Structure 1
């Protein structure tokens, strides 16, 4: 990397502000600098790159072709630095930041409701949680651990099994109108809500029944289980979701079991911990707390 040509942050800020406003005067006002400081930064940047980034047209700055090509990258660089600064600020008042990648529906429907208790026992740890459907590449992604299904395991990681995945069919109480749960085959008389990222779940549920897949796979499609929960609560049909995700809505009466059958997928929710963080105190604290919460639940 040739650092000789690397722009300074001040040069990038001056350039992007001039691109937004078209004058050094307005750019200076935005950045709380003098007009001459903006002009110097812009001139230094153009000299550094050896190209004209603007054409001066009737006292306005108009991006040149080189400037147009440079603008998007410059804005991305500043945005990345800003995000990095905000992330570093998360350490304020805490000893550690624990970066977690977690399945979105599990996080929204089960985990978040319990995180206040983690904050009580570990106030020195700040949590940074990102919803993630796909496997984490810990060598590239800046996460300390992941909460995923076991199928998302990667080399160089340790698995801590949390619970087996059990699916239940749920719907709004009005759909059953006070009647008993339906037999599995009777579910086909209702719209079946589909999970687009795991499109074979209903086929697995009806495996060995000999029913037509075209009937099984008809229905509105949603990316996440929590969206299917919301759709089922709204009366759109019957959803097939992990029991742990549906548990709160079932307890509160917003959903009922549409069928008494529970389907074991063979999958397991697990903590996936890379070798580089497995001896970290914050990871050990979170692991112990999470296992205790699951036992209590």
Structure 2
């Protein structure tokens, strides 16, 4: 087989990868600053080289075929490796080592940022670019080098370093009177329970831990971000069950009060990244600092 057939040009591959990710020539064209017809033409050239259809049409939509989906999966990983290698070469040549880190928003603002200066002091010349993310990271299609996530430790295809076991604490507003606080502490189950949507089972864990009937739960509003839940608790809308690491300052300053004793969660914090980024000097330095700090 002609080697040229096995190594299509980068322009063809980029056009296909973008069109496959969006399943849209229009959105791919916008991303690549091309016309829709140019993207369509490049995909057609690639299909002719491979001798197979990568897309099928359904009305105005383009849908990946089975082989097209397989090709996209393998190609996305390969393009991610190329981008990573290029960035490493550019960083080496400039003498600047940077890390593009995705982190949970509240963890980033409440824990990481107040301590990041210590990392910069220990590693002058390195830069960490922070990106807030709640959803899972696709390292093949994003420009993220590593991510701090929370979960049960199942990160298929990624290198994962366990950082810290999540400890959950019940928090209430400092606006409560002494009598109200005492009553709430004796009857946590009777309070309005606020929760974070990404950890909707937290209160179920707490009730199971204390052998309380789940039917007695008074579930209140849910929040996408833990920081919003903390603000709602501070405003005395209800009580919350949150990672202690995120409210240590508020508990110490008495802006919030703790009810009952903390419980260990089933989740932990992890630093995760694709194996291809293992050699990044900035990632090595940050990983070692993070493991020691947490």
TM > 0.5 fold call: yes
Instruction: Please give the secondary structure, in 2, of the residue aligned with 1:135.
Output: coil
Q: CA deviation at 1:217?
A: 4.4
Q: How many residues align?
A: 216
DSSP-derived class of the 2:130 partner: strand
Compute the displacement of 1:126 (Å).
1.9
- 1:206 is paired with a residue of what secondary structure? helix
Is the CA contact (8 Å cut-off) linking 2:98 and 2:127 kept in structure 1?
yes
**Counterpart for residue 142 of structure 2:** 141
Structure 2 residue 202 is matched with structure 1 residue 201: yes
* Residue number in structure 2 paired with 1:291: 291
Deviations 1:26-65 (A, max 9, x none): xxxxxxxxxxxxxxxxxxx9xx9xxxxxxxxxxxxxxxxx
> Given that residues 101 and 147 in structure 2 are in contact (C-alpha distance below 8 angstroms), is that contact kept between their aligned partners in structure 1?
yes
Give the whole-Å Cα distance in 1 for the aligned partners of 2:122 and 2:112.
Answer: 16
Q: Give the aligned partner of residue 271 of structure 2.
A: 271
Once residues 150 and 107 of structure 1 are traced to their aligned partners in structure 2, the CA distance between those partners, rounded to angstroms, is 16
The CA deviation string for residues 139-168 of structure 1, in whole angstroms up to 9 with x for no partner, is 222211111124364333222111101100
The answer on 1:234 being equivalent to 2:235 is yes
Partner residue in 2 for 1:172: 173
Q: d(CA) in 1 for partners of 2:183 and 2:118?
A: 38
Answer yes or no: is the 8 Å Cα contact 2:161–2:271 preserved in 1: yes
Gaps of 5+ in 1: 4-44, 49-87
Summarize the alignment of residues 147-186 of structure 1 with structure 2, pairs less than 5 Å apart: 147-151=148-152, 153-177=154-178, 186=187
C-alpha separation between the residues in 1 aligned to 2:115 and 2:176?
Answer: 31
Indicate how the Cα distance of structure 1 residues 229 and 264 shifts in structure 2: closer, same or farther if over 3 A, else same.
same
Alignment of 1:111-122 (within 5 A): 111-122=112-123
The answer for the alignment partner of 1:243 in structure 2 is 244
Question: What RMSD, in angstroms, separates the aligned Cα atoms of the two structures?
Answer: 3.5
- Hey, what's the Cα distance between the residues in 2 that align with 1:143 and 1:152? 20
Following TM superposition, by how much is the alpha carbon of 1:190 offset from its aligned partner in structure 2, in angstroms?
2.5
1:85-96 equivalence runs, <5 A: 95-96=96-97
Contact 2:97 2:282 in 1 (8 A): yes
**Structure 2 runs not aligned, ≥5 long:** 1-7, 12-34, 39-86
